Structure 1
Amino acid sequence: MFQQEISQLNLQQLKAGEKRWVGSLLGSSAALLLKEIATQHSSLLVLVARNNQHVAQLESELEFYGVKPTIFPDWEILPYDRLSPHQDIVSERLAILSNIPKQGVLLISASTLAQRVAPYSWVLGEHFDIKVGQKFDLEQQKLRLVQAGYHLVDTVYDHGEFAVRGSIMDIFASGQESP
């Protein structure tokens, strides 16, 4: 029955910015509709949830229907807290911003969407590649990392840290799973 109602929405002709009003979606039927929209369109579908709990609920429901959404994480701090966000969250957000998916589903809460993020051009401008065995000016690279917000430490354990031992540099880059 629900499939017939979905087909009446004519989702193939849905254009960016176009509005279709759908009501009375109970339980996980909203996630089923979103799955249909995502599978019928080859572009990125950005879903704005009312809060972080709704993001988690939509993620679970979409995964049940076979859709693995990308979650843009919340800072998990209040605007006037004197705390910095956890480095893993910063890393995950930078990884998503530097490699925004071209298709699929991106889930974000309304409060997270309302927060400012670095411009895409800045994220790409601060990106640099270093390959194993590549030669570079160690002092210049240390300065560049410090200016980008990295911390010089003796041993690298967390995102945003780097260590120098002789001519060897260990970097735990934001957006990476290991140093």
Structure 2
Amino acid sequence: MIDSKSMIYNSGIYKSRFFDEFLDKIKSKNSILIDDILDPEISFLTTFLNHTLKKDILIISTDRRKDLLYKNLSSFNDNLLEFLSWETLPFEEIKPSLDIIGQRFDTLNKLQVSKKNNLLICTLHSLLQKIIPSDVLKDLSLHLKINESHDFDNLIKKLVHLGYKKETLVSDKAQFATRGYIIDIFPTNQDHPYRIEFFSDEIESIRTFDLETQKSVERKKSVDIFLADELKFLKEEKNPANISSYLKDDFLVIFDDLYQV
């Protein structure tokens, strides 16, 4: 199956003198400024560079434009990611929403494991924001699969360590509950809560379930569970990073609107 990016690239659109000269300028200069460029052209040029240079590309946009840019690029890029910023400022000592935390760590995990050359959209705010380093993140997540063995009690302790709160019934994100050898949990990075059933220390099944009825819905082979309390760990982190540290070496930076960023 040929992806849409390859179809566009092989169609001849990029095989022109303009793109050859554009690529030469990118390779020979530290920076290049392009004025009066339309939104579709931004997407075409960005996709061209990603495909040709085989590099990660960091696209810095604004809150006003990032959604449109994401929509345009997602039409023919399956390696497109977005890194959201907190809706609060770190010095306010207010925890960001669980949805944003989940999306942020889902993006960090994808960058960490991806073998592709990714396109990453973020705002200047999210770029400058301190985050947990890549090597630390590995210890602050769980990747559970059926038929794997995990010490049940240690797993419960790990969930608490990650910021999940134990409840009688799960009703919201960042909560978990236990019944015998069953763990119900609503990961911050998931759209639905998950039910993980154990036989002794082996994961026998993983299913999503409905919050209202508490009934199991769909079988899954695995579930990723990421940190629920980002603020707490950032306070404890002595060497915080930023999102650029998750990109492959020699990545390219594109400012969507330099004067507005």
Q: Shorter-chain TM-score: what band?
A: 0.7 to 0.9
Amino acid at match of 2:88: I
Q: Give how far 1:89 is off.
A: 1.2
Mean CA deviation greater in 104-113 or 37-46: 37-46
| Matched residue, 1:10 | 23
Greater strand fraction, Structure 1 or Structure 2:
2
Q: Which runs of 5+ in 2 are unaligned?
A: 1-12, 195-261
- 1:151 paired with 2:165, answer yes
The 3-state SS of whatever aligns with 2:42 is: helix
For 2:126, which of 112, 116, 122 is the aligned residue?
A: 112
| Matched residue, 2:34 | 23
Are 1:95 and 1:175, in contact at CA under 8 Å, matched by a contact in 2? yes
Amino acid at match of 1:153: E
Are 1:87 and 1:158, in contact at CA under 8 Å, matched by a contact in 2? no
What whole-Å deviation, never above 9, does each CA across 1:120-156 have from its counterpart, x for those lacking one?
1111122333334655443332222111111112222
Counterpart-to-counterpart distance in 2, 1:140 and 1:81: 33
Are 2:86 and 2:126, in contact at CA under 8 Å, matched by a contact in 1? yes
Are 1:73 and 1:93, in contact at CA under 8 Å, matched by a contact in 2? yes
Mean CA deviation greater in 4-13 or 71-80: 4-13
- 1:67 paired with 2:77, answer yes
Structure ranking higher on relative contact order (CA contacts 8 Å, 6+ apart)? 2
Counterpart-to-counterpart distance in 2, 1:24 and 1:95: 34
Q: Which runs of 5+ in 1 are unaligned?
A: none
Q: Percent of aligned positions with the same letter in both sequences?
A: 20
- 1:123 paired with 2:134, answer no
Are 2:57 and 2:118, in contact at CA under 8 Å, matched by a contact in 1? yes
Are 1:154 and 1:163, in contact at CA under 8 Å, matched by a contact in 2? yes
What whole-Å deviation, never above 9, does each CA across 1:35-79 have from its counterpart, x for those lacking one?
211221323211122x22232232133245x23521111212234
Q: Give how far 1:107 is off.
A: 0.4
Counterpart-to-counterpart distance in 1, 2:26 and 2:37: 25
Compared CA separation, residues 134 and 57, structure 1 to 2 (3 A)? closer
- 1:88 paired with 2:99, answer yes
| Matched residue, 1:37 | 49
Amino acid at match of 2:19: I
| Matched residue, 1:139 | 153
- 1:98 paired with 2:112, answer no
Compared CA separation, residues 160 and 12, structure 1 to 2 (3 A)? farther
Counterpart-to-counterpart distance in 1, 2:58 and 2:121: 6
Q: Give how far 1:167 is off.
A: 2.0
Are 1:47 and 1:107, in contact at CA under 8 Å, matched by a contact in 2? yes
Are 2:47 and 2:77, in contact at CA under 8 Å, matched by a contact in 1? yes
| Matched residue, 1:163 | 177
Amino acid at match of 2:20: S
| Matched residue, 2:59 | 47
Q: Give how far 1:23 is off.
A: 2.2
What whole-Å deviation, never above 9, does each CA across 1:54-110 have from its counterpart, x for those lacking one?
32232133245x235211112122344453211121111111112204323110111
